[in-house]
Amino acid sequence: MYEIRIHSRGGQGGVTAARMMASAAVKDGKFATACPFYGAERRGAPIVSFVRIDDKPVRIYSQIKKPDMIIVLDPTVMDTVDVLDGLKEGGKIFINTHDDISFPPGFKVSRVDLTGIALREDLIVSGSPILNTPVIGALARLGLFTRESGVKAITETFTDPRNTNAARAAYDEVII
Amino acid sequence: MSELIMATGNKAVAAAAKMAKPVVVAAYPITPQTEIIETIADYVASGEMDARYIPVESEHSAMTACIGASITGVRVFTATSSHGLLYMHEMLHWAAGARLPIVMGQVNRTLAPGWNIWAEHSDALSQRDTGWLQVYVSTVQEAYDTTLMAFRIAEDNRVLLPVMINMDGFLLSHIMQPYEMTEPGDFIPPLNLPQKIDVNDPKGYGAMSPSNVHYQFRFDMEKAMRASRTVINETEAEFAKRFGRVYKPIDEYLTEDADVVIVALGTLGKEAEVAADLLRKEGIKAGVMRIRWLRPFPLDMNIKGKDLVVIDRDYSFGFGGVVAGEIQAKYPDAKIARIIAGIGGQEVTYEDMAEFVRNRKMGTEFWFGIPQEEQ
């Protein structure tokens, strides 16, 4: 079982990203669940959501305490949230940034500027750049699911081609 | 197999309700059930669902509208949770007493105070004596499939009692899992309500039922509850035959040779399977009985010679956990370690459940999270 924790802020689409990730894994023939942690969240507050991917049905409903991977959609949450909490030794970190943010040794860090891509592709809703579709492209590049399944997971939710364009750009631009 | 869809438990229940083609849906929104009725409202607005959607001002009115619609002999659906269910309380008795096969999605949520929106079973268990059938589900697929079956069971003329499909708030209502949106075809036969309103054959409804007849109505309800055991078995068997997914009143996992069995409802009962796997690696022969149908209560639990670790996500103050208490009442010889866990959405992992088994003290009650000296 591969366990992923996503850090974002309310309204940034972290929950939808989790759903598309799980959906893409299922299209690859895997089993997956996606769940948000519901607290007293509101727009702009730090939130987490979880994805579990396995070769057999997922029977666990409790929260992920020792993730194999963390995804940081909004690096500013790191000011108040310990995003590395419980991350396994050798675990993966994917972060949305154009800076070369340094993490403690022992983790595999990859990054891409999803916000920059969203702005460039004019993928903006209510004044905010959309991060949840470009991140799918980046994660396909990291091998979480195939590129084809990632595209299908996006298009079954979002028909606007700017979403898949941004995902393709993120796929190409990930720095591993 | 048709394509798998990623959806929440709420969406799956709404989709199953759409498939069953109810004529009337009357409901009031409440976290974490809201997505069920939002989805149905969308179906109705878009024309995908040919039903009358009645937005009401309270859950009491929602159930009342369902009762009024149901007595005309049409299929009716609603959904609620927690305080909404409690606000329906009077009308829950009425729906069952009037023998109306209303189907309700019920998302299990804690009762206030303090305000808490997370999973607990006290809401539904506090309504266990209303005459509703109660089933508890553990996956998105099971939520969908059981909602389809609920219409067939409720409307069977041997039953004619309402059915409440319970799923854990957020843990299942909001988790997304892949599921197959099976077309039920003629799996749910047309409703034929014998006591429906007929303008050509006027009858009185809700008339006085004096003390020399009232007990007969109540015994008829109990006969219907007893008959529902057969109808549930038949319906689950027919579902398996048609659609290939097998359900039983109790979902058993590795129980045959088990020395110790975790008993739980809902998602805890599913995650308990992982605890059993973990314990078996340590040489402890563990299994799981996940009770699906709590009403009618299962009478054929095979628990002889097994230690039961019953996890209650509920409490009856001054008594104990409801599920453990009911098992003990029906099976006086049962050896039970009573665990109170998951209250107010308290996090309970499969590792915690394995620990309940390892540390079990038969015949005692243990509140998870409370220091031993205070127990």
Contacts of B212 (CB under 8 A, 6+ apart): none
Is B4-243 a domain of CATH 3.40.630.10? no
Question: Which residue, B22, B21, B78, is CA-closest to B55?
Answer: B78
Query: Contact B140/B7 with Cβ under 8 angstroms?
Result: yes
Structure tokens at B108: 């299990």
- CATH architecture under which domain B250-374 falls: 3-Layer(aba) Sandwich (3.40)
Judged by DSSP in three states, B144 sits in helix
Q: Which residues contact B340 (CB under 8 A, 6 or more apart)?
A: B311, B312, B315, B321, B365, B366, B367, B368
Q: Tokens in use for A80?
A: 């108040």
Q: What pLDDT sits at residue B97?
A: 97
Give the closest of A26, A31, A33 to B175, CB-based: A33
For CA atoms A48, A117, A75, A71, the dihedral sign is: positive
pLDDT of residue B1: 52
Check: CB of residue B305 under 8 Å from CB of residue B277: no
- Out of A18, A33, A65, closest to residue B177 by CB: A33
Residue spans of the domains in chain B: they are 4-243, 250-374
Nearest to B176 by CA among A29, A64, A18: A18
Q: Which residue of A has its CA nearest to B342?
A: A62
Query: Which chain B residue has its CA at the smallest distance from A51's CA?
Result: B176
The pLDDT value given to residue B218 = 97
pLDDT of amino acid A41: 63
**Residue A176 CA neighbour count, 13 Å, CB half:** 10
Give yes or no for residue A42 having a pLDDT over 90: no
Going along chain A from its start, the domains and CATH numbers come out as 2-173 (3.40.920.10)
Which chain A residue is nearest to residue B352, measuring alpha carbons? A62
How many angstroms separate the CA atoms of B22 and B74, rounded?
7
What single string gives the DSSP state of each residue in A38-61?
Answer: PSS--BTSEEEEEEEEESS-----
Q: What's the mean pLDDT in A115-139?
A: 93
| B136: contact with A, CB 8 A cutoff | no
Instruction: List the single residue in B with minimal CA-CA distance to A153.
Output: B6
Indicate the pTM of the whole model: 0.96
Taking CB atoms and an 8 Å cutoff, what residues of chain A touch B117? 38
* Confidence band, pLDDT 50/70/90 cuts, at residue A128: confident
* Residue B175 confidence (pLDDT): 96
By three-state DSSP, how is residue A62 classified?
Answer: coil
pLDDT in tens, B199-238: 999 988 888 999 999 999 999 999 999 999 999 999 999 9
**pLDDT tens string B328-371:** 999 999 999 999 999 999 999 999 999 999 999 999 999 999 99
Return the ∠ at Cα B292 (arms to A38 and B362), rounded to 5°.
90
Question: Is residue A149 within 8 Å of residue A118, measured between CB atoms?
Answer: no
Long-range contacts of B369-372 (CB under 8 A, 24+ apart): B369/B341
Q: How far is CA B245 from CA A35, B18, B248, in A?
A: 24, 20, 10
Nearest in space to B255 (alpha carbons), one of B218, B300, B219: B300
The answer to whether residue A39 scores a pLDDT higher than 90 is no
Q: Which long-range contacts (CB under 8 A, 24 or more apart) does B58-61 make?
A: B58/B28, B58/B87, B59/B28, B59/B30, B59/B84, B59/B85, B59/B87, B59/B88, B60/B87, B60/B88, B60/B90, B60/B91, B61/B26, B61/B28
Q: CA A104 to CA B99: how far, in whole Å?
A: 65
Who among A36, A38, A59 is closest to B270 (CB)? A59
Residue B169 tokens, joined = 């708030």
Q: How far is A27 from chain B (nearest CA, A)?
A: 8
Taking 50 as the pLDDT cut, the residues of chain B under it are none
Chain-centroid distance of CA A88 in Å reads 17
Beta bridge partners of A147: none
Give B 176-205 residues with CB within 8 A of chain A: 176-178
Give the C-alpha separation, B343 to B118, whole Å: 9
